[in-house]
Amino acid sequence: MKKILLILLVFVFGCKSTDKKSPKISIGIGEVKENVDLSKIIEINQEIFIKHSVFERFGDVKKAFLLNDFIYLHTEFPNTITKLTREGQVINQFIPDFQITEITSIDFFDSLIYVLDRESMEVHLFDYEFKRKDQFKIPYFAQSLKVISADKIAFFLGNEIMENKGRLVIYNYKDKKPIADLLEISKNQKRYFNFLTNYHFLLIRNNLYFWNSPQNAIFKLSENGLLDIDYEIDYGKKSLPKDFYEKADYDNPFEFLQDVRAKEYAHRHFKMLANNDYLLFNFDYDSAFGTTIFNIENQTSTSFKNIFDDIWTNKPFEELMLSFFLELYGNNLFIGFLPYEFFEDSCPSDGEEPCDMLFIGKIKT
């Protein structure tokens, strides 16, 4: 009888599933340093002087994509998608026509460029030479997109004035129906939180993630649903109180922003980038732009409020903090950007029009 009881106990407890959810990783920003030397953060492998030729100059550069031997840049003001060689020669540029009123974000999948036009609630498809291939309507006023498969796209709906925003959905655009309606932030967060980025999706070690800025959380995403929080950002003493949004009572988002800045909270993200080794994000910190670089393997953070360029100009980045890091990719690689205005007369343009610069390098922290 004792043997039978022992066998039953082993079966019940010894055969318990080992498929446990991994605990979420906390990203603490730690000490936020000021005026960190650029050379202590990165190593430059390649400088690319951009030759615009007859094409439009760049305004606000939002994102960089590396495909084969080419670099694609999404820019605003003017709204363009630009294709250039790794030597910096601009060879083609897409400027929206009357059918596209606003390029909110773009993605690349299966030799096609997916262009999200938020205002007209459409997605436009082009080949890599910007020849139009297709377009379709979507039932969402979307902030960003990520193509998951040949028929599935994830959309983040942002928190604009319209109702039902602050949601993440997966949509089958061929069947014209949603597959999953995954996430909705609280009503007050939708009212007061301003999403300032057009890109909310990350690829880390072949896994797709969704970055939800108000929750300070990064979720792993599958084709059919949200899995779990894998990373959570902890601002320590600078964090908003847990019940902050529930108690908040502001007349408008601007009043909200002024108050949290006055109380010196770290609260609002502008950009989140990732490769196989690092996460990088910008945020509001003491009325300045903070940046944290998180080492995924060691789970350590390096944070700073400003970068001092000790490589080329001996000047601080200041407002360029938000545009320098365009993309992280591969194993510890990044693409950076600086406009020609930053270099003044130091850019070697041989008497021609001043040139913007791209940089390919590695993170050293």
Mind listing the pLDDT tens digit for each residue in 69-102?
Answer: 999 999 988 889 999 999 999 999 998 875 666 7
Residue 57: its pLDDT value, please? 84
The pair of structure tokens assigned to 121 is 């609630």
State residue 228's pLDDT score: 83
Number of alpha carbons in the 13 Å side-chain half-sphere of residue 72: 20
CA angle, 60 as apex, 270 and 57 as ends, to 5°? Answer: 165
Q: How confident is the model at residue 240, as a pLDDT? A: 87
pLDDT at residue 358 greater than cutoff 90? yes
The DSSP secondary structure of 241-254, one letter per residue, reads PTTHHHH---SSHH
* Low-confidence winner among 94-103, 136-145, 245-254, 354-363 (lowest mean pLDDT): 94-103
pLDDT recorded at residue 13:
36
DSSP 155-198: EE-TT-SSSS-SEEEEEETTTTEEEEEEEE--HHHHHH-----S
Is it the case that residue 176 has pLDDT exceeding 80?
A: yes
Q: Are 291 and 281 in contact (CB under 8 A)?
A: yes
Out of 176-185, 200-209, 268-277, least confident range? 176-185
Confidence class for position 350, pLDDT limits 50, 70, 90: low
Residues 6 or more apart in contact with residue 5 via CB below 8 angstroms: none
pLDDT tens for each residue of 246-266? 888 888 777 887 888 888 888
Indicate the pTM of the whole model.
Answer: 0.87
